[in-house]
Homo-oligomer: A and B are copies of this chain.
């Protein structure tokens, strides 16, 4: 910039103001400065700028693992929206480990981002406090429980999703409705399971513990779960699954045994991932609207970075049943 100023025969101050427009500059000078800028191929150093202005125009996106089914979708929507507002996005993965998450929060103190979005896991209270202490605005998206927290949270109304699922399944069958949940303690597992029990009660359907399985969130585990459900010898007319991968596994196993879906047994998933439309039969699932969650999260963050203090908003995004062939 020093060179630009010299080349244009003005002070650095003037160059700055040509760049930022924060002060009127005569057309002639402006012209000469722009000329020098293009001639020297000058680009302002954002790092120095950030240091001086105490704003880096960058936000950290912290999530368990970018490979998880919905993570890229979230990252995409959040990223686009943030970039629209002139923010750069840095990405951090916790690997689902709270300790790693905490250390990332610690590192955030060194890399002065203007804000942070935590997605796909619940922030620990100590981390939240640390961020607060360092005045780093943040939001916590995709939290998989119902706890109310004293910081901004955007979550999906999982109970409502389960309600819609069970409504459809109850229509489909008068028989028992089994449930295959995620592993206890895993994100979303507990809340979805409780929602299942609650909604079953509301529908006046009995819950039989023997028809409830808890397995890993993947496809093989789904097959396995179907086997053990069938192994009980108990009849059932539907299976609600906590996750699409599980549901696809369940379908595969059932079909392998000659059980017709949805006529003999109806099956539902949850999350509405891409393969749902490609498997046979296509899978009825629940759209979790990652786009809206990301949008709400970013909007909240932008507001917080804009100076609005202490808004501990609790946004609840409504899911939507996507009805396909399996139920």
Is A66 a contact partner of B56 (Cβ separation < 8 A)? no
Q: Which residues of B contact A46 (CB under 8 A)?
A: 110-112
Is A112 a contact partner of B72 (Cβ separation < 8 A)? no
A28 on the interface (CB 8 Å rule)? no
A 41-99 contacts with B by CB, 8 A: 41, 43-48, 50-51, 56, 58, 61, 65-67, 71-73, 75-76, 79-80, 88-91, 93
- By size class, the interface of chain A is 35 or more
Given contacts A72-B71, A79-B66, A88-B90, contact A44 B278 (CB under 8 A): no
* Majority SS at the chain A contact face: helix
Is B80 a contact partner of A76 (Cβ separation < 8 A)? no
Stoichiometry, copies per complex: 2
A9 on the interface (CB 8 Å rule)? no
Q: Which residues of B contact A109 (CB under 8 A)?
A: 43
Given contacts A75-B91, A76-B65, A91-B75, contact A47 B51 (CB under 8 A): yes
How far apart sit A279 and B252, CA to CA, in the bound complex (Å)?
A: 9
Is B67 a contact partner of A93 (Cβ separation < 8 A)? no
A147 on the interface (CB 8 Å rule)? no
A79: which of B44, B93, B111 is its contact (CB, 8 Å)?
B93
A 273-289 contacts with B by CB, 8 A: 274-275, 277-280
Is B73 a contact partner of A91 (Cβ separation < 8 A)? no
- 13 inter-chain pairs at a CB distance below 8 angstroms, sorted by A residue, are A43-B109, A44-B110, A47-B56, A48-B51, A58-B90, A67-B72, A75-B91, A79-B91, A219-B277, A245-B278, A252-B280, A274-B275, A279-B279
Sort A-B residue pairs by CB-CB distance and give the 4 closest, nearest first. A275-B275, A43-B109, A72-B72, A43-B110
